[in-house]
Chains A and B, each alone.
Chain A
Amino acid sequence: MDFLVFQYPMITIQACLDGLLLGILFALIAYGMALQWGVMNIINIAQGDLVILGGYIAYFMYLYGIHPAWGVIVSPIIMYFVGIAIYKLVINKVVDRDLFISILATFGISILFMQLMNFAFGADVVLANSGYGTTMLFDNNVVLPNSKIFSAFISIVFAICLVVYMKRSKLGRAIRATAQNARAAKILGVDTEKVYAATFGINAALCGVAGALISITFTIHPYMGLPYTIRSFMIVIVAGLGNLPGVAMSGMGLGIFEEFADYILGTEFRIGSVFLLLVLILVYRRFKLSRKREYLK
């Protein structure tokens, strides 16, 4: 237990800012989760592993002397095709089946990815050094790495691009139509199979962006995927499907919660507190709904 947070306001500000910048990244991943959940009705446990894979792409660019910030462009392009490949191989067989099947199948993909990344990239914790330096605020009491600010900025840019794309483009309209009613969309001439593939590809690309940013700002490790999946799931269930401002807000809230949990409980309980928070949120919603004799579905 460390009560420094309450005695020393600068740490509070530091934690809030860190959490905010981190939360924007989470919101980006969660947006991909909400997209595929809403459109294809699948829950992708391998979401976090796609993020980590995207991070490794940026890391490799860094290793070969290219500035890792370019990973923000390269990683989504590669991840888009990875996403399409996963869709063609596995996801298209689970789309209209029971959700549990999709959870288990993507769990399998997650284990597969974890191990393949472990082989390919080694089990070390790595980060791509962007060399962006830091910004000092409040008489040098609050330290903000510029890479975090950069990553938050890029996340917002991508999120805005995506929203505009979904609103304006033909494919975006088709995706939204399929999410509303897949059968009706099919009747009206939308190739839902293509829409599904594109959705999963876009989701993977978003994961790629987020992963590249995470490899710059934080660290990546082959086995770190699952917490990202759980975080994005949590953000989506708090915000609801198709509620983008909600996703952004709850993402930032989660980021701040995590930073405070880190300070107060200690770093060893950080991931544990995230998972526990998920359980608590679900239980809270369950009790809230059960008053009206409803349940989460």
Chain B
Amino acid sequence: MNKNSWILYIGILVFGLIAPFIFPAFKVQLSILCVLIVLATTWNIQGGEMGYNSFGNILFYGLGMYLCASVQVGMFFPLAEWTESGGEKTFVHTPSQFFQGMAVGLVVAAVVPTIVAGLIGYSILGLRGHYFAICTLGLGVAAGEISGGIEIIGAGQGFTTPPFPNIGGLEARGEFFYFLSFGALVLTFIAVRAIYTTRFRLILNAIRDNEDKAEAMGIETMKYKISGWMISAFFCGLAGGIMGGLVGYIDSTDVAFDGREMGVFMVLMAILGGKGTLWGPIIGATLFHFFKEGFWTFFLGWQYVALGVLIVVIVIYFPEGLMGWLREKYPERFGEVVDEADRKAQVELK
């Protein structure tokens, strides 16, 4: 790591820490941005690096969301009565109860999806290509439909997460969730960056490029595929837990297992920025968030139309994403040595 990148990291960290005070009105937006970056980056681990394009990471996200909220409530009050009462505040968390519940809830929200990913990984990751994509799509939708029928977590009427305790009002709530999600973002970035410097990433890339050959070379691909998916699940669950608290209301198909929104968003953000790069999903998520907020503000009602068009345009015209485009344009900047004559010859061959 050279000096420039240290300056960049410290700059971003400092900006992240002071951002809620510079833009106090955008705290919630910034928190959502952090969560989106976490989702895009971790989708990229198995979508971009491993070549297993999943629509089903929403499963872990939704699971984390429900688990975090359920633990937070269930630790102190009977869960069934809480969901029964809907938004009515029959039970009130004291501040210490709220934070304790949140802490335990987030741990559970991250760990349980990881275990789930490990358990179903062997079955699901044996599928390849589009079968994997459709299977995970089915998994995500099935989770949404089934959780919408379970009474104890609110079924169709939804689940109100514990409201933020009455200290410092809205400002404190915004700051708390911002720093929580920013913390998750930093944690994710450090973890992913560490992973990407190891042999593990090379193995994942080998699986993406040619799984049969990787297997023939003696790599136990299944083991690495499952680990890759579990890492994704861990951070997706964490992000889901935070998002549940931030939104304050969980609905099975519209918030938690929202394959039509979040499930596609994470794929789209990673593709927009560039699959298989460290910075691609981060840039993609940031750009996408601006796009999305623009649509949701200026084209209210038409946002899904705009979103659908955006998906088609991105997928057809920029399948390599921003980073891929930059890489094509300035390969030297990505550490690729290019022989100019060779490159010209290749272009002519086409």
Chain A positions within 8 Å of B, measured between CB atoms, are 43, 90, 93-94, 97-101, 103-105, 107-116, 119, 226, 230, 233, 237, 266, 268-269, 271-273, 275-276, 278-279, 282-283, 286-287, 290, 295-297
Contacts and interface: CB of A to CB of B under 8 A. Distances in A.
A109 B131 CA distance: 20
A90 B128 contact: no
Chain A's interface: helix, strand, loop or mixed, by majority? helix
A113 B309 CA distance: 10
Nearest to B261: A111
B127 A286 contact: yes
> What are the 4 tightest A-B residue pairs by CB atom distance, in nearest-first order?
A112-B308, A108-B311, A272-B145, A275-B142
A116 B305 contact: yes
A221 B305 CA distance: 17
A287 B137 CA distance: 19
Interface of B: 53, 123-124, 126-131, 133-135, 137-139, 141-142, 144-146, 148-149, 155-156, 260, 264, 267-268, 271, 301-302, 304-305, 307-312, 315-316, 319
Contacts of B302: 115
B304 A271 contact: no
A113 B304 CA distance: 9
Contact of B126 (A101, A268, A286): A286
Chain B's interface: helix, strand, loop or mixed, by majority? helix
A90 B316 CA distance: 8
Contacts of B271: 104
Contacts of B137: 230
B301 A119 contact: yes
Contact of A112 (B139, B268, B312): B312
A104 B267 contact: yes
Give the one of A97, A98, A279, A296 with max B CB within 10 A: A279
A230 B126 contact: no
B124 A283 contact: yes
B139 to A, nearest CB: 5
A194 B350 CA distance: 25
Nearest to A46: B308
A278 B301 contact: no
Given A90-B312, A107-B264, A278-B135, A297 B149 contact: no
Contacts of B142: 272-273, 275-276, 278-279
A282 B135 contact: yes
A105 B130 contact: no
Contacts of B316: 90, 93-94, 101, 105
Contact of A295 (B126, B139, B145, B315): B126
Contacts of A296: 127-128, 131
Contact of A109 (B124, B130, B138, B308): B308
